[in-house]
A = this chain, B = another copy of it.
Amino acid sequence: MNEGTLQGEARFRRRAIKVDEAMRLVMEALELGRQESVPLWEAAGRRLAEAVSATTDWPPFARSGMDGFAVRSADTALASPGAPATLRIAATVAAGALASADVAPGTAVRIMTGGAVPPGADAVVMLEQTTDAVVDGQPAVLVKRTAEPGQNIAPRGEEFRCGSVFAGPGELLRPGHAALLGTFGYAHVPVYARPRVAVLATGAELLPVEAPLAPGRIRDSNSAMVAALVAQHGGVPVLLGRVPDEPGAAAQAIVDALQQCDLIITTGGVSVGDYDVMASLLSFLATDHPAGKEASAASFASAAQTAAKPGLLPQDSRLLFNKAAMRPGAPTSAAVLSGKLLLALSGNPGACFVGFELFAKPALQRLQGATPEQAMPKQVTAQLAGSFTKGSPHERFVRARLYTENAVLCAAPLGFGKSSMMASIPEADGLIRIKAGSEGAVEGDIVDVIVL
Contacts and interface: CB of A to CB of B under 8 A. Distances in A.
A380 to B, nearest CB: 4
Interface string A111-124: 01111100000000
A185 B174 CA distance: 36
Interface in A373-387: 380-383
Contact of A422 (B180, B187, B215, B420): B180
A301 interface: no
A245 B239 CA distance: 50
B7 A132 contact: yes
Interface residues of A, number: 128
A290 interface: no
A315 interface: no
Given A203-B96, A382-B404, A425-B176, A4 B134 contact: yes
A321 interface: no
A56 interface: yes
Nearest to A205: B96
Interface stretch (A61-69, A72-80, A190-198, A333-341): A61-69
A215 B96 CA distance: 8
Given A128-B9, A175-B229, A382-B407, A98 B216 contact: yes
Contacts of A67: 8, 271-274, 276
A352 to B, nearest CB: 8
Interface string A38-63: 00110111000000000010111101
A154 B420 contact: yes
A427 B177 CA distance: 9
Interface in A67-100: 67, 86, 92-98
A247 to B, nearest CB: 15
B209 A349 contact: no
A239 B41 contact: yes
A221 interface: yes
A421 to B, nearest CB: 6
Among A2, A217, A405, max chain B CB count under 10 A is at A217
Interface of A: 1-5, 7-9, 40-41, 43-45, 56, 58-61, 63, 65, 67, 86, 92-98, 110, 112-116, 126-128, 130-135, 140, 154, 158-160, 166-167, 173-187, 203-206, 209-213, 215-229, 231-232, 237, 239, 271-276, 347-349, 353, 380-383, 403-410, 416, 418, 420-428, 446
List 6 A-B pairs, minimum CB-CB distance, nearest first: A96-B205, A176-B425, A4-B132, A44-B228, A176-B426, A182-B221
10 contacts: A3-B131, A7-B130, A59-B218, A96-B204, A113-B347, A114-B205, A159-B421, A185-B210, A185-B212, A185-B219
